[in-house]
Amino acid sequence: MEEKKRIILPCIAVCEGDISPRVITCGDPARAEKIAKMLDDVKCLAKNREYHTYLGSWKGVPVTVSSHGVGEGGAVIGFESLCRAGAKVIIRVGTCGGMQKEVLEGTIVIARAACREDGVTEKMLPLSYPAAADADVLKALEESAEKLQIETRSGIILTQALFYPGLLESKILLYRKAGVLAMENEAAGLFVVASLHGIKAGAILAADAPAFELVGVERYQPDRSMVARAVEQEIEIALDAVIHVQIER
């Protein structure tokens, strides 16, 4: 019988079955490498453009780490490819800008859902469909944070298409009034892609400064040591959480 040809998935440059069902994803390839170095028996599967993918294990459980770059368009390519490659649980580990006065530098935010101002997911599903984190992933992240005694805040975030302020600026105060905790650029895409594939997804974010629209770009002066510490903590939370989410066999 002729062996079935393995198809390399676009952009992430891995094949179906190459990755583990449990995935940690992040924007920065350097952060992906940092996370990968924390795993046991780690190996690099591929490095293509902003998509760097590693396979290893955490406490004996296989875990994949993959970067997706900055911005929803490219990130959705990565999320879609990861789902097609065999992901069953994906947790995004990233950074965000705070939108509430209590979300300061170093605050860790666990996303319950994301407002879809990303400019991409509206091409995939009507905007009336919510971009929501999976309940099991949300619970795992919150329980891991509690177990590790790391303070976090859970709530709604905003995913927007632009990094710098733009036409959405007039809506930011309204979103803040509605209790939106923070702003970032990729989580809504992850949640929508995960819903379309029937897999579980979540996101945990370290605030690096207030959102540009609230303070101005010139006041973006994060305390790098505080942010670095928060990123280390959220990685620890995500790794503990991703191995405890139950997946279907």
For 173-217, write each residue's pLDDT tens digit. 899 999 999 999 999 999 999 999 999 999 999 999 887 777 777
Work out the angle at residue 57's Cα, subtended by the Cα atoms of residues 6 and 191, and round it to the nearest 5 degrees: 70
Gyration radius from the chain CA atoms: 17
Q: Write the single-letter amino acid at 160.
A: Q
Rounded to whole angstroms, the Cα distance separating 137 from 213 reads: 30
Looking up tokens 């790098």, which residue turns up? 224
Q: 């198809």: which residue's tokens?
A: 7
Tell me the C-alpha distance between 208 and 78, whole Å.
24
pLDDT-above-90 percentage for the chain: 84
pLDDT at 38 > cutoff 60: yes
Kindly state the helix (H) or strand (E) to which residue 205 belongs, with its residue range.
Answer: strand 200-210
Angle at 90 between CA 242 and CA 155, to 5 degrees: 85
CA–CA dist 100, 60 (Å, integer): 39
Q: Please tell me the distance from the alpha carbon of residue 60 to that of residue 228, in angstroms, as a whole number.
A: 26
| Active site annotation includes 118 | no
Structure tokens that stand for 22 in this block = 């449990």
- pLDDT (tens digit, 9 = 90+) per residue, 43-64? 999 999 999 999 999 999 999 9
Q: For all residues of the chain together, what is the average pLDDT?
A: 93
Name the pTM for this structure: 0.95
pLDDT at residue 209 in the model: 82
Predicted pLDDT at 172 = 87
Place of tokens 């930011």: 172
Considering 28, 134, 208, 240, which one is annotated as catalytic? 208
Window from 91-95, 162-166, 171-175 with minimum mean pLDDT: 162-166
pLDDT digits 0-9 by tens, 4-17: 678 899 999 999 99
* Length of the chain as a residue count: 249
Q: Is the pLDDT of residue 219 over 60?
A: yes
Give pLDDT, residue 84.
Answer: 96
